[in-house]
Amino acid sequence: MDLVLLLQRIFDALFNSAIYSSLALALVIIFRSTGLLNFAQGEMATFTAYIAFVLLSGPQPRLTGGGLAGLVPGVPLPIPLAIVGAVICGMAGGAMTERALIRPLGRAPDLALVNITIGVLLATNSLMAQWWGTGPRIFPAVFPSGAGQHFSILGARLRYSTVGVWAILLGVLVLLILLLRHTRTGLAFRAVSISPSNAELVGVRVGTTLMYGWALASGFGALAACLSANSVLLEPNMMLRVLVYAFAAATLGGLDSPKGALIGGLIIGLSQTLIPAYVPFIGFELSVLPALLAMIAILLVRPAGLYGTRRIERV
């Protein structure tokens, strides 16, 4: 086995892993707090990537679509600012979704909540297609990713963009942990995710806290979409496939464990690249298969995922 090739494949897989991990983290944050799976996570993230794209290109009527031109700043923004803008828009959108669509439902059955998010998925997806068209757009690279721009480790190339994405992911994770451990909102958030009714009894404003949770998750999703938009080409269905992988990653790690999301993303990303490369039976087109089989296999052994908490039901 060629070690350099193996290393190269691992490095290549790391980029995707980071994207899956961050989207899986977004799913986990929402699942922990609200107990629902946000099927619209990917579409909401893609929407923010389009916002970043518009911010990057300035007020071109072709891009801004219809009556939105007035809201766009007159000059194209640099990439970091555009991404920050997109993340802020994403957070606002997530908070609004929670407030307007999820909270009024109260304690609804799972199916109702799934329906709401599927409805948001369809609506967002077609709105994007309506405003920006279905054709793919070229999103500029966030990190230098030219021919020679990579670290060489043992003969394998580790691209700057991979390092950059992981740096951002880990940095944001550290921020998240600090937020959860050392702020009042974080404490409230942890309390709500353990037991909403008890949290309410001790004076935590559950609704507002959940809204922050959604904002946080959507911010994560927006970041993932902006960072990956260059490599997968910006188009309305961009995150649909990524979302399936992120679902697999989150499930594998355990739906309520952020650590699980990180490791699940790594496993899914690596297996997606490595298994088709070394198992001749599975072509590259089928790269989705091993990831999902891994997910099902792990669920069979550990129904709550690798790091998820087992639920014990009292009757």
Burial class (CB in 10 A: 0-12, 13-18, 19+), 291: buried
- Which tokens is 14 given? 């790391």
> Is residue 71 part of the contact set for other proteins (CB under 8 A)?
no
* 180 contacts 190 by C-beta, under 8 angstroms: yes
Q: Judged by CB, which is closer to other proteins: 112, or 178? A: 112
- Residue closer to other proteins (CB basis): 182 or 310: 310
Measured from the CB atom, the residue of 168 and 262 that comes closer to other proteins is 262
Count of C-beta atoms within a 10 Å radius of residue 132: 21
163 or 288: whose CB is closer to other proteins? 288
Nearer to other proteins, 11 or 20 (CB): 20
156 beta partners: 153
Q: Which of 3, 112, 175, 279 binds other proteins (CB under 8 A)?
A: 112
User: Please, are residues 34 and 277 in contact by the beta-carbon 8 Å criterion?
Assistant: no
| Residues 230, 145: Cα–Cα separation, whole Å | 10
Burial of 309 (0-12, 13-18, 19+ CB in 10 A): exposed
Q: What would the two tokens of residue 10 be?
A: 């691992």
Contact flag: residue 122 with other proteins (CB under 8 A): yes
> Residue 161 or 218: which CB sits closer to other proteins?
218
47 counts as binding other proteins under rule CB under 8 A: no
**In the structure encoding, which two tokens stand for residue 141, read together?**
């690279």
Report the SS3 class of residue 304.
Answer: coil
Per-residue binder mask for other proteins (CB under 8 A), 123-152, x = binder: xxxxxxxx---x------------------
Q: Does 78 bind other proteins (CB under 8 A)?
A: no
For other proteins, which is the closer residue by CB, 36 or 199? 36
Binding to other proteins, residues 220-259 (CB under 8 A): 236, 240, 244, 247-248, 251, 255
Residues of the chain by 3-state class (helix, strand, coil), percent to 5: 75, 5, 25
In the bound state with other proteins, the residue whose beta carbon lies nearer, of 69 and 153, is 69
* Residue of 4, 118, 170, 174 that binds other proteins (CB under 8 A): 118
Closest separation between CB of residue 268 and other proteins, Å?
11
Pick from 18, 26, 29, 37 the residue near other proteins by CB under 8 A: 37
Cβ-based nearer residue to other proteins, 31 or 220: 31
**Should residue 68 be labelled a site residue for other proteins when binding is judged by CB under 8 A?**
no
Amino acid at 87: V
Question: Which of 14, 35, 17, 8 has its CA nearest to residue 255?
Answer: 35
| 53 forms part of the interface with other proteins (CB under 8 A) | no
Nearest Cα neighbor of 305 from 51, 41, 77, 24 is 24
Which residues does 183 contact at the CB level (< 8 Å), separation at least 6? none
Q: Which of residues 264-293 bind other proteins (CB under 8 A)?
A: 281, 283, 285-286, 288-289, 292
Q: Which amino acid is at 39?
A: F
| Structure tokens belonging to residue 148 | 């020679």
Minimum distance from CB of 67 to other proteins (Å)? 7
Distance in angstroms (rounded) separating the CA atoms of residues 20 and 253? 12
Residues that bind other proteins in the complex, under the rule CB under 8 A: 31, 36-37, 66-67, 101, 104-105, 108, 110-112, 114-116, 118-130, 134, 236, 240, 244, 247-248, 251, 255, 281, 283, 285-286, 288-289, 292, 295-296, 299-300, 303-304, 311, 313, 315
